[in-house]
């Protein structure tokens, strides 16, 4: 019952990470903002999760796992309700930040409890079950979100979660037991604040860099300096204080370092397509929200198939599954990079399914590799770093990909419009021009809109190639992993 309760609770949190993605175009129009601004709804939620995740170990020791789970579920549900009631971009981003902060402890704490309850020789099986529940949220989210957005409005993607949050709270109240907690737990505020400043400023720089012309902007330069200073203070403080915010002993474990490095890349390739595809399909192809949701839902279906295969195949070397998973991510990215402006529904669905299948192959072996040689007493802190880097990878790669789309679109638009003049020989061919004429302002506006559409498509293609190279970067690290045989324990 503990496994079932925590799996469904984390599935609820995972639902909110992706359910808003399919509604981004509708939010963009409703709130009258640009594409890079509406992306803040996704990235700031992930950043808030990343900043709050390392607090899980201290919060658990200070307040106990039962109190922390109950408070996180209750506050997360309230923040979700307020997201639906938001009337401006600033208000929506603020409550998405709260949603990420309050929901951050759920995944690492639940994972640590599950791994502690079961012996090591059963970690593969229970992680597969836990992972199936986690992936169920992202599988249902796009389909439900697309339907609710089209039939009602984007606000209902948040309202829908509230009753399930109440049910989850009741389940945690009944089945999650309390843990031993210390009355006095020293918290390293210096390390926490330094790390938070570094993460927040770095993410702000990535999100606002393209809009503000990068280093030509004083704001961007200040954010880079603040991020570098925060990281420097965090590293120096960690190795010079008696009780640092994150235990440096964790990074003496070879497998843990390799595992969290692979987890960073896993985070990068997890949610980027789910952020790029909705705006691509609606803005460039005019797809309705419900169809976009179904297409993105095939990713979740692929993930479910992958977890099902891993449920029976987790006894094999996890490095095999890691290589297969990241290779499938690269194949899906390459398939998306071959899209053109006339992309097909089948092409999007098959690429999403392959990407989801790769994700399903990765979660269990990543967990096994990361915690294979780590002492059990370091599981809570190790789990926090595991999820911190996963979330950081997602937010960084989404910001870089959106920036790449917009930057490539501007460059290609400026090149293509050079050929849209009355003096271009091609425009004098009736078979090419059809009924359009460069002498008409209305026709020039139509031509300009089409050029902009083609330029944006090139930007998306470049972002998908970037996605391919990111997935392939994980393969050399897999070869460095060394596994030990699991300890046997009586059932």
Q: Is the pLDDT of residue 272 over 50?
A: yes
Tokens of 229: 């200073």
Q: Is the pLDDT of residue 309 over 90?
A: no
Distance (Å, whole) CA 383 – CA 110: 10
List of residues 6+ apart from 400 with CB closer than 8 A: 206, 466
Q: Is the pLDDT of residue 438 over 70?
A: no
Q: Which of 41-45, 144-148, 225-229, 326-330 has the lowest mean pLDDT?
A: 144-148
The pLDDT, as a whole number, for residue 77 is 93
Instruction: Return the CATH fold of 2-187+245-409+454-478.
Output: Growth Hormone; Chain: A; (1.20.1250)
Q: Is the pLDDT of residue 45 over 60?
A: yes
CA within 13 Å, CB half, 111: 32
Q: Is the pLDDT of residue 39 over 90?
A: no
pLDDT band at 300 (very low <50, low <70, confident <90, very high): confident
Cα dihedral 110, 259, 56, 69 in deg (nearest 10):
-10
pLDDT digits (tens, 9 = 90+) for 182-192: 555 677 889 88
8 A C-beta contact, residue 366 and residue 322: yes
Q: What pTM was estimated for this model as a whole?
A: 0.82
Distance (Å, whole) CA 307 – CA 288: 30
The pLDDT, as a whole number, for residue 185 is 62
pLDDT band at 358 (very low <50, low <70, confident <90, very high): very high
Tokens of 303: 């993930």
pLDDT digits (tens, 9 = 90+) for 85-142: 998 989 999 999 999 999 988 887 887 777 777 777 777 778 777 766 666 666 667 7
Q: Which residue has the higher pLDDT, 1 or 328?
A: 328
pLDDT digits (tens, 9 = 90+) for 375-417: 877 876 787 788 788 888 888 898 899 889 999 999 999 998 8
What Cα–Cα distance (Å) separates residue 80 from each residue in 83, 217, 420? Answer: 5, 34, 48
Q: Which residue has the higher pLDDT, 284 or 437?
A: 284
CA within 13 Å, CB half, 352: 26
Q: Which of 61-70, 304-313, 337-346, 410-419 has the lowest mean pLDDT?
A: 304-313
Tokens of 457: 């498509």
The SS3 of residue 384 is helix
Across 70-105, b (16+ Cβ under 10 Å) vs e yields bebbbbbbebbebbbebeebeebbbbbbbbbbbbbb
Work out the end-to-end distance of the chain between its first and last CA atoms, rounded to an integer number of angstroms: 17
pLDDT digits (tens, 9 = 90+) for 464-490: 999 999 999 999 999 998 877 655 443
pLDDT band at 236 (very low <50, low <70, confident <90, very high): very high
The pLDDT, as a whole number, for residue 347 is 94
Q: By C-alpha distance, which of 421, 225, 333 is closest to 233? A: 225
What's the whole-number average pLDDT of the chain? 85
The pLDDT, as a whole number, for residue 136 is 65
Q: Which residue has the higher pLDDT, 486 or 328?
A: 328
Q: Which residue has the higher pLDDT, 460 or 23?
A: 460
Q: Of the segments 227-231, 340-344, 419-423, which one has the largest average pLDDT value?
A: 227-231
Phi and psi torsions of 331, nearest 5° = -65, -45
pLDDT band at 218 (very low <50, low <70, confident <90, very high): very high
Radius of gyration of the chain, Cα coordinates, nearest whole angstrom: 23
The pLDDT, as a whole number, for residue 490 is 39
């Amino acid at each position: 019952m503990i496994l079932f309760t925590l799996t469904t609770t984390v599935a609820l949190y995972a639902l909110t990470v992706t359910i808003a993605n399919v509604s981004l175009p509708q939010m963009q129009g409703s709130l009258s903002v640009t594409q890079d601004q509406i992306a803040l709804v996704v990235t700031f939620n992930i950043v808030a999760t990343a900043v709050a995740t390392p607090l899980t170990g201290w919060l658990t020791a200070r307040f106990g796992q039962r109190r922390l789970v109950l408070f996180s579920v209750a506050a997360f549900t309230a923040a979700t309700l307020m997201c639906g009631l938001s009337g401006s971009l600033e208000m929506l981003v603020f409550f998405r930040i709260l949603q990420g902060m309050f929901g951050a402890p759920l995944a690492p704490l639940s994972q640590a409890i599950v791994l502690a309850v079961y012996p090591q020789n059963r970690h593969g099986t229970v992680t597969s079950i836990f992972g199936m529940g986690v992936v169920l949220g992202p599988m249902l989210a796009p389909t439900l979100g697309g339907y609710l957005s089209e039939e009602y409005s984007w606000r209902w993607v948040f309202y829908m979660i509230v009753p399930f949050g109440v049910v989850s709270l009741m389940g945690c109240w009944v089945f999650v037991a309390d843990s031993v907690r210390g009355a006095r737990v020293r918290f390293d505020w210096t390390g926490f604040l330094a790390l938070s400043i570094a993460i927040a400023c770095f993410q702000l720089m990535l999100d606002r860099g393209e809009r503000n012309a990068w280093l030509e902007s004083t704001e961007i330069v200040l954010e880079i300096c603040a991020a570098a200073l925060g990281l420097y203070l965090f590293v120096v403080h960690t190795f010079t204080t008696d009780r640092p915010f994150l235990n440096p002993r964790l990074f003496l474990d070879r497998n843990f370092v390799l595992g969290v490095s692979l987890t960073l890349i896993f985070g990068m390739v997890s949610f980027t397509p789910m952020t790029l595809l909705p705006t691509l399909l609606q803005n460039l192809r005019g797809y309705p929200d419900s169809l976009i949701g179904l297409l993105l839902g095939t990713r979740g279906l692929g993930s479910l198939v992958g977890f099902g295969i891993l449920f029976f195949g987790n006894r094999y070397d996890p490095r095999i599954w890691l290589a297969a998973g990241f290779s499938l991510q690269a194949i899906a990215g390459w398939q998306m990079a071959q899209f053109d402006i006339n992309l097909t529904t089948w092409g999007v669905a098959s690429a999403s399914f392959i990407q989801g299948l790769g994700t399903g192959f990765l979660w269990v072996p990543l967990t096994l590799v990361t915690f294979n040689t780590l002492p059990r007493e370091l599981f809570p802190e190790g789990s926090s770093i595991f999820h911190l880097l996963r979330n950081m990878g997602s937010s960084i790669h989404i910001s870089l990909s959106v920036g790449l789309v917009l930057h490539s679109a501007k460059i290609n638009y400026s090149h293509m419009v050079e050929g849209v003049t009355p003096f271009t020989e091609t425009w004098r061919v009736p078979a090419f021009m059809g009924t359009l004429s460069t002498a008409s302002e209305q026709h020039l506006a139509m031509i300009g809109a089409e050029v902009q559409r083609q330029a944006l498509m090139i930007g998306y293609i470049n972002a998908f190639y970037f996605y391919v190279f990111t997935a392939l970067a994980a393969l050399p690290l897999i070869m460095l992993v060394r596994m030990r045989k699991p300890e046997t324990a009586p059932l």
